[in-house]
């Protein structure tokens, strides 16, 4: 447990992901952490209850990292992780040599990513502010990507609608989208948005009991949503 010089407590864990060397990950100690003295997160629409969620390791993120670790690298491919939180999948892709950009809208996500890069002796990687609502800024996500990935993103209907719009602005004409969803129940609207963008869908169940999935994942019920657009 690290002392909270900045107002919150953290911990450091060794995380195993098949196909890459173990990663040292600094995360928040638990879901009780909160520190927003200047109201920066509040102005971004992040409540006190939602504030710590970026800084925890989740089973969905472990599945996403494991799938990216198993995927062959493709020359010239640009990858964007949406709502990256601690960016476990982005760190895995970056360690393998992929061109990965991590993005999130939490004000501390970039700092945690930089710290975890240093913990693992990795070179700096690209991070961009990634609110899903339309907007622009010098540090915002720009451009188009060949593979867009994320985990546990369909947490309410408004979120899934904004996510579809974001993907429409940043997916290349020929693109692939991965979403690991722990059965949040907001898939139907998101499926329709992706279909309207020209994507076809494939679903794979990921259910497993304790100790049967990726090492960083606890017992889990959910699915891998894969969307493809030929361009």
Strand partners, 225: 179, 203
Between CA 77 and CA 167 the distance in angstroms is 16
What is the per-residue pLDDT across 137-170, written as a single tens digit (0 to 9) for each?
778 999 999 999 999 999 887 777 899 999 999 9
Directed axis angle between helix 157-170 and helix 187-196, to 10°? 20
Confidence of residue 217 (pLDDT cuts 50, 70, 90): low
pLDDT, tens digit (0-9, with 9 covering 90-100), for 87-116 = 999 999 999 999 999 999 999 999 999 999
Asked if 145 and 151 touch (Cβ cutoff 8 Å), the reply is: no
**Beta strand 145-151 pairing with 126-129:** unpaired
Q: Is the pLDDT of residue 75 over 80?
A: yes
Q: What is the pLDDT of residues 184-215, one digit of tens each?
A: 888 999 999 999 999 999 999 998 766 655 65
Domains and CATH numbers, the chain: 50-229 (3.40.50.150)
């Amino acid at each position: 447990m690290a002392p909270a010089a900045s107002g919150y407590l953290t911990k450091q864990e060794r995380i195993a992901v098949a196909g890459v060397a173990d990663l040292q990950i600094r995360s928040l100690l638990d879901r009780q952490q909160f520190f927003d003295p200047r109201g920066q997160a509040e102005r971004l629409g992040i409540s006190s209850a939602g504030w710590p969620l970026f800084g925890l390791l989740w089973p969905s993120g472990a599945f996403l990292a494991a799938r990216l670790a198993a995927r062959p690298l493709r020359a010239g491919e640009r990858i964007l992780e949406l709502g990256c939180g601690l960016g476990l999948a982005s760190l895995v892709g970056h360690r393998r040599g992929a061109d990965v950009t991590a993005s999130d809208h939490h004000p501390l996500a970039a700092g945690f990513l930089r710290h975890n890069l240093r913990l693992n002796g990795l070179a700096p990687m690209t991070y961009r502010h990634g609110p899903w609502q339309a907007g622009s800024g010098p540090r915002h996500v720009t451009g188009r990507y060949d593979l867009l990935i994320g985990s546990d993103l369909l947490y309410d209907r408004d979120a899934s609608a904004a996510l579809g719009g974001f993907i429409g602005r940043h997916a290349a004409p020929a693109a692939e989208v991965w979403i690991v969803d722990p059965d949040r129940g907001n898939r139907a609207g998101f499926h329709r948005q992706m279909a309207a963008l020209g994507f076809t869908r494939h679903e794979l169940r990921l259910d497993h009991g304790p100790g049967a999935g990726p090492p960083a994942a606890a017992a889990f019920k959910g699915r891998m949503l894969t969307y493809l657009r030929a361009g």
